[in-house]
Structure 1
Amino acid sequence: MTDIRAVIFDMDGCLVDSEPMSLETLAEMMAVEGLHATPDELRRKFLGMSIQAIVRHLSEALDRPDLPDFARIFEERLLARYPSELRVIPGIPALLDDLAARGVTVAIATGSSVRRLGITLDVAGLAGQFGDRIFSADQVRRGKPAPDLFLLAAQSVGIAPEACAVMEDSPHGITGARAAGMRAVGFTGGSHLVGMQDDHARRLSEAGAAIVLPDLDGMAAALLDRPGRV
């Protein structure tokens, strides 16, 4: 068994409880374009995907070549809510401190833009935990569910993919982590999954998660694959 030396976190829904805001904002903007969907429907279809990939889907649905301002306006509206509404997932600071104390490198691989990534960490007070080990879908040709972003993170921190574990709340993210050859652990503790944790846990398991947890109790052990030793 390869010792896990790095843990790569998805950001939205894993580090910060931002997904309800994202889904609500997306639903509102799509309605203006004539595409009506509930946040729950959007979660099932788009959770874990970059806004650029979502815009491509919307362009196809509308049979329009592009939506040039959609991503920019979405991000502006979403970020305007962050100072008053963004919350860190309970237990994340303690988990990050625990991993750091064990000498485990931590990084982020997110479908969010570079700009949104930086602002999110500043508002949440988590920037100091990750330094420059933060990676966005903006930096790769293919976002999740492709493995590119996870491989970029591993290469950048100098740790082989098989020695990396990933904490993800989306099937797309789990699929990408597994395609990169990494251990994948599912998480269903975000508020966007209240009332549907069991169904979502099944989807994460089907995507390849080694284990799925509803909260952060036992998360360090699950990520490091050391049951009973962490």
Structure 2
Amino acid sequence: MTSSAAVIFDMDGCLVDSEPLSLEVIANEMQSLGIQDADINDVRSRFLGVSIQDICKNITERLGRPCPDDFIDRVENHLLSEYQTRLTKIAHVDELLDRLSEQGIKTALATGSSLRRMRKTLELSNLLPRFDGTAFSADQVENGKPAPDLFLLAAQQIGVDPKDCVVVEDSPHGVKGAIAAGMKAIGFVGGTHLDDIRDYQTNLLQVAGASVILHDLQDVGDEIIGQS
């Protein structure tokens, strides 16, 4: 892959190893509503890369009544509490961001998380200065992933043509959204939430259109910048 003008990262599962916590909390909150089959594996297969608003829509369908108004707040409050002691970064993320900066490659973030969760996640992981003014949430667009809206917003705000952007994503929804935006997509399978389904997820990302699948952010840097 030739060097790109900008790299747009998904946050959860690509920059921070937060997905195991998210899956656990969402499953627990859904079970508390009476959706007993909503275990971690069910939530992972249905909702990886999906906005919390879309999860609420699914809950409404499965319950046959509206998702509680406080569901999103309950999930976020529970999750952010867990983050205080359990949130970790994906290995080599700081080295990759340094490397991209040294090469003059812009970086941005495009996440299905809310603005509140996005900011707190970046604060707790000490990544907020890395994405000052270049972090974007599904809260800011009409349609979340797999629609292209969020990626197009990110590209517009950082002043880079979509065709010159590469996206790093761990979900098929994100890969499809990137491609719909006219961007290249790298599939990333290095998060611990994929430890037991890495081959399966690799296949899903390939089918979604990812140009390459990688499990180490050092390799992501090599792919984007090219071997020296």
Q: TM-score, normalization: structure 1? A: 0.95
The Cα offsets for residues 28-57 of structure 1, whole Å up to 9 and x where unpaired, read as 111111112221221111000111111111
Per the alignment, residue 122 of structure 2 pairs with 121
Per the alignment, residue 110 of structure 1 pairs with 111
In the aligned structure 2, how far is the partner of 1:109 from the partner of 1:170?
Answer: 13
In the aligned structure 2, how far is the partner of 1:105 from the partner of 1:44?
Answer: 32
Indicate if the aligned counterparts of 1:167 and 1:223 stay in contact, CA closer than 8 A: no
SS in 1 for 2:26: helix
In the aligned structure 1, how far is the partner of 2:137 from the partner of 2:173?
Answer: 15
For structure 1, the residue ranges without an aligned partner over 5 or more in a row are: none
Letter in 1 for 2:175: I
- Deviation of the 1:67 alpha carbon: 2.1
> In the comparison of the two structures, how many residue pairs are matched?
227
SS in 1 for 2:17: coil
Per the alignment, residue 133 of structure 2 pairs with 132
- Deviation of the 1:129 alpha carbon: 1.0
In the aligned structure 1, how far is the partner of 2:67 from the partner of 2:113?
Answer: 19
Indicate if the aligned counterparts of 2:188 and 2:215 stay in contact, CA closer than 8 A: yes
- Deviation of the 1:206 alpha carbon: 0.4
The Cα offsets for residues 189-212 of structure 1, whole Å up to 9 and x where unpaired, read as 001001211110000010010000
- Deviation of the 1:101 alpha carbon: 0.3
Superposed CA RMSD? 1.3
Letter in 2 for 1:21: L
The Cα offsets for residues 131-161 of structure 1, whole Å up to 9 and x where unpaired, read as 1100000000000000000000000001000
- Deviation of the 1:3 alpha carbon: 5.0
In the aligned structure 1, how far is the partner of 2:224 from the partner of 2:191?
Answer: 18
Indicate if the aligned counterparts of 1:16 and 1:89 stay in contact, CA closer than 8 A: yes
Q: Which runs of 4+ in 1 moved over 6 A?
A: none
Indicate if the aligned counterparts of 1:50 and 1:137 stay in contact, CA closer than 8 A: yes
- Deviation of the 1:216 alpha carbon: 1.8
In the aligned structure 2, how far is the partner of 1:160 from the partner of 1:151?
Answer: 9
Indicate if the aligned counterparts of 1:109 and 1:149 stay in contact, CA closer than 8 A: yes
Alignment of 1:76-225 (within 5 A): 76-224=77-225
SS in 2 for 1:186: strand
SS in 2 for 1:167: strand
Per the alignment, residue 58 of structure 2 pairs with 57
SS in 2 for 1:218: helix
Indicate if the aligned counterparts of 2:2 and 2:224 stay in contact, CA closer than 8 A: no
Answer yes or no: is 1:16 the counterpart of 2:36.
Answer: no
For structure 2, the residue ranges without an aligned partner over 5 or more in a row are: none
- Deviation of the 1:218 alpha carbon: 1.8
The Cα offsets for residues 65-84 of structure 1, whole Å up to 9 and x where unpaired, read as 34211011100000011110
Q: TM-score, normalization: structure 2? A: 0.96
Letter in 2 for 1:124: S
Indicate if the aligned counterparts of 1:50 and 1:111 stay in contact, CA closer than 8 A: yes
Q: How high is the sequence identity, in percent, across the aligned residues?
A: 49
